[in-house]
């Protein structure tokens, strides 16, 4: 009989199609070990821990979404230290399928477009639809709290002063070529994922 054979082939084909969303699809998550995840079960906050300078404590400096300008219909945010931007309109973050979101209690959710080499980690808040760039994952660390990764890297983040406002912002793969921040103020950090709010 030919029919069951065709059915088997069709089922096999469907099986492979259905299996695709189950595979971790986010850029770089796979390379960070089997326990790296592109989705967090609960909301969390981030804290920056120095990797070369002494730390005040093992949790790190709390991060918030700091201002980064606006245009008609949209506001922009970056990851800033709470110490340099003492305001917190998005008290928690969420990670869903590699997309990073700032959760607001009063306004619109902030949606992250990620970063490119040498730039801030960017967010946009708008009443229109905006899409998250699926580039983040959370990686368990044997040394302490889990770490946030971007594009498969946990070790490319720095804190740098943006100069005039003295806002200390998270930069991905910092470079001396940027006018967005003063490179000589940069120091490397990892972004620890703090849960239990
Ligand atoms: C992943 O997590 C499991 C359960 O906690 C642990 O046994 C295993 O060693 C972890 N694997 C890696 C690569 O960290
Ligand atoms: C990291 O080092 C900088 C510069 O010395 C300091 O301002 C900051 O508080 C340190 N971060 C922590 C978490 O201690
Ligand atoms: C130490 O950790 C606490 C708890 O996360 C935080 O509120 C505080 O700002 C940290 N201290 C520094 C200097 O970063
Ligand atoms: C940074 O540059 C490298 C080399 O060109 C590239 O592979 C990588 O995707 C870039 N990272 C980001 C986040 O754009
Ligand atoms: C960092 O950026 C430089 C270009 O400025 C690029 O050559 C390098 O590959 C980047 N590193 C990573 C880890 O993407
Ligand atoms: C950049 O920071 C360094 C060290 O704090 C400072 O000496 C320099 O004047 C700053 N440059 C600019 C253009 O603000």
15 falls within a domain: no
pLDDT at 27: 61
Mean pLDDT over 20-24 rounds to 41
pLDDT of residue 3 exceeding 70: no
Q: Provide the pLDDT confidence category of residue 20 given band limits of 50, 70 and 90.
A: very low
1 falls within a domain: no
- For 145-179, write each residue's pLDDT tens digit: 999 999 999 999 999 999 878 999 999 999 999 99
Q: In this structure, are residues 149 and 14 in contact, taking their beta carbons and an 8 Å threshold?
A: no
175 falls within a domain: yes
Print the domain residue range for 148: 26-194
Distance 127 CA to ligand 3 centre (A): 33
Residue nearest to atom 12 of ligand 5 (CA): 173
Residue 140 phi, psi dihedral angles, 5° rounding: -65, 145
Alpha helix (H) residue ranges in the chain: 3-19
Count of domains observed in the chain = 1
60 falls within a domain: yes
**CATH at residue 117:** 2.80.10
Q: pTM of the predicted model, to two decimals?
A: 0.87
10 falls within a domain: no
Closest by CA position to 132, among listed 178, 94, 101:
101
pLDDT of residue 19 exceeding 50: no
Alpha-carbon distance of 27 to 168, in angstroms, equals 27
5 falls within a domain: no
């Amino acid at each position: 009989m030919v029919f069951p054979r065709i059915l088997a082939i069709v089922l096999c084909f469907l099986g492979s199609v259905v299996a695709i969303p189950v595979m971790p699809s986010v850029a770089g998550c796979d390379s960070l070990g089997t326990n790296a995840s592109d989705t967090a079960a609960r909301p969390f906050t981030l804290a920056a821990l120095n990797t070369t300078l002494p730390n005040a404590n093992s949790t790190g400096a709390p991060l918030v979404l700091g201002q980064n300008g606006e245009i008609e219909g949209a506001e922009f945010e970056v990851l800033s230290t709470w110490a340099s931007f003492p305001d917190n309109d998005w008290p928690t973050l969420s990670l869903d399928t590699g997309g990073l979101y700032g959760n607001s209690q009063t306004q619109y959710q902030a949606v992250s477009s990620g970063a490119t080499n040498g730039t801030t980690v960017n967010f946009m808040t708008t009443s229109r639809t905006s899409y998250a760039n699926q580039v983040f994952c959370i990686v368990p660390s044997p040394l302490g709290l889990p770490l946030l990764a971007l594009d498969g890297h946990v070790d490319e983040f720095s804190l740098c002063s943006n100069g005039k406002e003295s806002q200390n912002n998270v930069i991905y793969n910092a470079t001396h070529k940027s006018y967005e921040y003063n490179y000589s103020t940069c120091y490397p950090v990892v972004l620890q994922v703090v849960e239990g709010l």
